Amino acid sequence: MTKKNIFSLDNKVIVVTGGTGVLGGHFVNAIVQAGGIVIILGLNEERGNAQVEEIKLNGGEAIFLKVNVLDELQLVDAKERITQKYGKIDGLVNAAGGNVPEGILNPDDDVFNLNIEGMKEAMELNLWGTIIPNQVFGPALAKTGNGSIVNISSVGSKRALTRVLGYSMGKASIDYYTKWFAVEMANRYQDSIRINAIAPGFFLSEQNRNLLTNPDGSYTSRADSIIRQTPFKRFGKPEELAGALVWLLSDASKFVTGMDIGVDGGFTINSGV
Ligand code: NAD
């Protein structure tokens, strides 16, 4: 019997928004290692080009396009450039997102004077920064007959996390949207396109560095509290998201849609008792 790797991403063209970020960068590497061609979309041109250079040096294929996920025209232009170059798009990972400093409530702030504008900005980036790319790239994915979208949610969508309301509402909306969109797409395209979400627990990255570490690198009391409440008693390592990501992008998950996969060291299932 010939061996078949059902997790292979060989020759699949996969777009990663926010691919220049900490988790996004690991998503990019995981896709390349599984055989995929990666299109890195992000704001940081220098970082994106350096990633592409490294991937190519190691025999992989990638390009970087400077795109703001909230700008539909830029996304449309990117889609045209990708389809011109590669002829198709098989996958999309919506990793652009994170906290917006103005939307974070400080412990001494008045809870009846929330920074609504900051919270709206956080919701806009996380929710609309996911929906708009799906609107633009979705038709190309459905056309391949095997398209897969992976949204990035958070444990903040499942349990009340202090301070980050706008961010958590954005992620909770992603969970609902993922289910809703899975059904509506399936009603029209059957299994030609799927959509799922990964809900990471806590991983040290740029968007949460100020919440989790002090200027000297030591953990904040919030970070200590997270680790206490995580059964594995540690933060996640970004590469620990690779398995769930590659599974959801590959044909190994062909009958999976509308799901939300937690990768959190047990944080969300822990009652704390
Ligand atoms: P990060 O800040 O390292 O990466 C986010 C990336 O998105 C950055 O490269 C940033 O430039 C890019 N970005 C921001 N706004 C953009 C825009 N408008 N257009 C295009 N790109 C934009 O953060 P990360 O932790 O790697 O986050 C990746 C995703 O994972 C985010 O959605 C985040 O909310 C989610 N997440 C992270 C954690 C964690 O613990 N780090 C936990 C749960 C969920």
Q: pLDDT in tens for each of the 273 residues of the chain?
A: 788 899 999 999 999 999 999 999 999 999 999 999 999 999 999 999 999 999 999 999 999 999 999 999 999 999 999 999 999 999 999 999 999 999 999 999 999 999 999 999 999 999 999 999 999 999 999 999 999 999 999 999 999 999 999 999 999 999 999 999 999 999 999 999 999 999 999 999 887 888 899 999 999 999 999 999 999 999 999 999 999 999 999 999 999 999 999 999 999 999 989
Which runs of E-coded beta strand occur in the chain?
13-17, 37-42, 62-66, 91-94, 147-152, 193-200, 260-263
* Rounded CA separation 44/26 (Å): 16
- 166 and 211 Cβ atoms separated by less than 8 Å: no
93 lines ligand 1 (CB under 6 A): no
Test site for ligand 1: of 23, 178, 245, most ligand atoms within 8 A of the Cβ: 23
Distances (CA, A) of 267 to 7, 65, 166: 27, 35, 21
Could you tell me the distance, in angstroms and rounded to a whole number, from the CA of residue 121 to the centre of ligand 1?
14
- Write down the pTM of the prediction: 0.97
Amino acid, res. 189: Y
Determine whether the shortest distance from the Cβ of 202 to ligand 1 is under 6 A.
yes
Q: How far apart are CA 117 and CA 109, in angstroms?
A: 15
The minimum-distance atom of ligand 1 relative to the CA of 18 is 7
Asked about 177 being catalytic, the answer comes back as: no
Q: What is the C-alpha separation between 7 and 246, in angstroms, rounded?
A: 7
At the fourth CATH level, the homologous superfamily of domain 13-269 is NAD(P)-binding Rossmann-like Domain (3.40.50.720)
Nearest to 272 by CA among 230, 221, 212: 230
Q: Which atom of ligand 1 is nearest to the CA of 19?
A: 9
Separation of CA 42 and ligand 1 centre (Å): 10
With residue 200 as reference, give the H or E element that holds it. strand 193-200
Q: Under DSSP, is residue 84 helix (H, G, I), strand (E, B) or coil? A: helix
CB 235 within 8 A of CB 204: yes
- Locate the ligand 1 atom nearest the alpha carbon of residue 47 and give its number: 9
Q: What ipTM score was computed for the predicted complex, to two decimals?
A: 0.99
Residue nearest to atom 29 of ligand 1 (CA): 95
pLDDT in the model for residue 207: 77
> Which pLDDT score, from 0 to 100, does residue 183 have?
98
Residue 208: predicted pLDDT: 85
Indicate which residue of 86, 167, 189, 219 is catalytic: 167
Per-residue pLDDT at 228: 96
Angle at CA of residue 152, ends 252 and 9, nearest 5°: 30
**Contact in structure between 236 and 265 (CB atoms under 8 Å):** yes
Which residue(s) pair with 193 in the sheet? 147
DSSP β-ladder status, 37-42 and 260-263:
unpaired
pLDDT at residue 3, rounded to an integer: 84
| Residue bearing the CA closest to ligand 1, atom 39 | 203
Structure-token pair, residue 228 = 């206490």
CA neighbor of 150 nearest in space, from 117, 110, 216, 199: 199
Greatest Cα pair distance, the chain, in angstroms, is 66
